[in-house]
Each structure stands twice: as C-alpha cells, then as structure tokens.
Amino acid sequence: MTEATPGAIQDPYEMQKNLPTSPDQLLARLDELGISSHTVDHAPVFTVEESKELRGQLPGGHVKNLFLRNKKEEMWLVTVEESKRVDLKALGEKLTGAAGGAAKLSFGSADRLMQYLGVIPGAVTPFAVINDKGKAVRMVLDEDLLRHDVLHAHPLVNFKATALAPKDLLHFLDAEGHPAQLIAVPVAASPEG
C-alpha cells in the first residue's frame, strides 16, 4: 500500500463534495425557472478528449469553457463548442476593446475558479455563474452554440452532464444576473499551417 504524495491526483468525488451549490440545487433552480433539462451520470472527466470518449452518442452541442482574466483583474467565462480552437489574442481584443498587452488574457487559477465560480478545473460550466453572487465574472457565449437544438454542460461537477435548449441556457444566465454576451468567438489558425 502506498501513501498519498503531495501533488498526487485527488479523488474527484471528494474534491466536489462541498461545493457552494450542489448539482441537485442547480437542477432545482432550473425547475424553478421552468427550464426543462435532462441529466446523466458518467465517470469524472477533466478534458474535452475524455468527455468525447465517455459520452457515446449524446446528440447536440457539447461545450468547453474558458475561465479567463486580464491584468486588470477583469474575468470572463467563455463558453464555446468543444471542438473550437479559440484565438485568445483576438478574443482579448474583442472583449476588452484594447490591443496588444492591454488585451492579453490568461487562464484563471484553480483557486480563483473556486472563489468566484465555485467549481474545480474540469467542471467549469456556464451553470457556475449561480455561485458568482458578486457578479465579478462576465459570461460570454459563442453564437455558434445557438444553432444546436440541445447543449450539454456539466451541472457544477465533472461526473454528470445536463442537456437543455440554448434558449433555456440564455434564460438561466439572465435569471442569475449574468446575461450572455453573444459573440462570434475568434478561431485560432490550425497548427498545421
């Protein structure tokens, strides 16, 4: 038997046991808002690749989420289709209205993510705005997501997936005081050239 070592991977269920809002509380909030959704359980996933392998054939759009910040401590949660390669430089210019270094975005730390959105890396989701009571994080939704009949996102944990209509996601975000900024999220050039 081996002892846990610092930096060892922690049990994802334990890591998500005492969140500010539970998946059940989130689903109750969706019901309260009249939002129809369907949630399935799955093994914990931390990357888009792991998610693709696990889900089988769940029809609809599957999202990935980028928790971003700039030097001025402004923060954004950007939700895009899982396969989109985002051009962070162009996105920074679009979100901040600045150019060069003033528009530089970086990923928020795990501590910042928990502090403002109440989730761990791998469980980032547009639903996490339910925990941002101070409205510190701005919600950005890629307009390409609206073409799907159904979107799938984590309900605050990375071992479940919740499906709902894009219009219902927009309704939830509005109800939580985080209306989505709908934009065409810029795509990064392919690494092949």
Taking the CB of residue 95, how many other CB atoms lie within 10 A of it? 20
What average pLDDT does the chain have? 86
Any domain includes 18:
no
163-185 pLDDT, tens digit per residue, is 999 999 999 999 999 999 999 99
Total structural domains in the chain?
A: 1
pTM of the model: 0.86
Taking a C-beta distance cutoff of 8 angstroms, is the pair 46, 159 a contact? no
Q: Per the domain annotation, does 83 fall within a domain?
A: yes
pLDDT of residue 8: 47
**Closest alpha carbon to 25 in 134, 167, 155:** 155
CATH no. for residue 139?
3.90.960.10
Instruction: Determine phi and psi for 130, rounding to 5 degrees.
Output: -60, -25
Q: What is the pLDDT of residues 50-90, one digit of tens each?
A: 565 555 667 788 899 999 999 899 999 999 998 899 999 99
Express each pLDDT in 123-159 by its tens digit: 999 999 999 999 999 999 999 999 999 999 999 988 8
Q: Is residue 57 part of a domain?
A: yes
